[in-house]
Amino acid sequence: MSKTKTVYVLNRGSFCKLQNQGKIKCIRCQIEFEENDIIATSAASQRYCYKCASNINLVSGDVTKDLGLDGAFKETTNQIRKISQKIKAEKSIKILAIEIIKESFARSLIQSKNLTGLACAAIYFATVLSGQKNPETIASHLPTSFRVIQKNLLMLRCILMNSKLLEKFDGSYL
Ligand SMILES: [Zn+2]
């Protein structure tokens, strides 16, 4: 993406760069940024935490909109809602799956032609992360093949490397 983002997720790369420059605080409330925080940059190149940016109307306050998440994002989260209802997934799984998709879209330009496969992978990922005993059982109820789930899962894993969402997880399931 060549477009300069004024609202973005502070991924490891940007975080380290800011840290090296000694610019890791919100200019307004002085809170120290942490990796994966969502921050905003003003026209004068001042950095704000998302909350302060909302307070001074630098951003809309709608994080999905501010991060420029597009139609594919909405379609994928709709699919997650529909599929979760169909397979009677726990609410916490659905919420985590949507979080996974939100952060993935915020971090990366996702190019998937198969949004159902992506939605299924997010649900499967959320199931595994939640420590459910038989994620395979969930997988067998998802409306796509396990091969497609695995393919999308690898992509999500890669995009979400070092994400707080994965902190609790030891990463031994692949
Ligand atoms: Zn602030």
Model pLDDT, residue 90: 93
* DSSP code at position 5: P
Measured distance CA(77)–CA(116) in Å, rounded: 10
* Ligand 1 midpoint to CA 26 (Å): 5
pLDDT at 173 over 60: no
pLDDT at 46 over 80: yes
- 53 and 63 in contact (C-beta within 8 Å)? no
Task: Calculate how far, in angstroms, residue 61's C-alpha sits from the geometric centre of ligand 1.
Answer: 13
Phi-psi region of 37 (alpha: psi -120 to 50; beta: other; left: phi over 0): beta
CA of 16 to the centre of ligand 1 (A): 19
- For residues 141 and 132, is the Cβ–Cβ distance under 8 A? no
Q: Looking at per-residue confidence, does 69 or 103 come out higher?
A: 103
Question: Residue 32 C-alpha to ligand 1 middle, in angstroms?
Answer: 9
CA–CA distance, 54 with 136 (Å, rounded to integer) = 42
Q: Find the 39 Cα to ligand 1 centroid distance in Å.
A: 9
CA of 31 to the centre of ligand 1 (A): 6
Q: How confident is the model at residue 168, as a pLDDT?
A: 62
Surface-to-core class of residue 102, CB atoms within 10 Å of its CB (0-12 exposed, 13-18 middle, 19+ buried): buried
**Ligand 1 centre and the CA of 49: distance in Å?**
4
Q: Where are the domains of the chain?
A: 7-62, 71-166
Q: For residue 73, which amino acid is it?
A: F
Whole-number Å distance between alpha carbons of 52 and 172: 38
pTM to 2 decimal places: 0.68
pLDDT reported for residue 112: 74
Q: What is the pLDDT of residues 87-141, one digit of tens each?
A: 999 999 999 999 999 888 887 767 677 999 999 999 999 999 988 888 889 999 9
pLDDT of residue 23: 84
Let me know how long the chain is. 174
Q: Quickly count: other Cβ atoms within 10 Å of residue 27's Cβ.
A: 14
Instruction: Report pLDDT for 162.
Output: 79
pLDDT at 171 over 80: no
Q: What is the mean pLDDT of residues 24-34?
A: 95
CATH class of 71-166: mainly alpha
pLDDT band at 1 (very low <50, low <70, confident <90, very high): very low
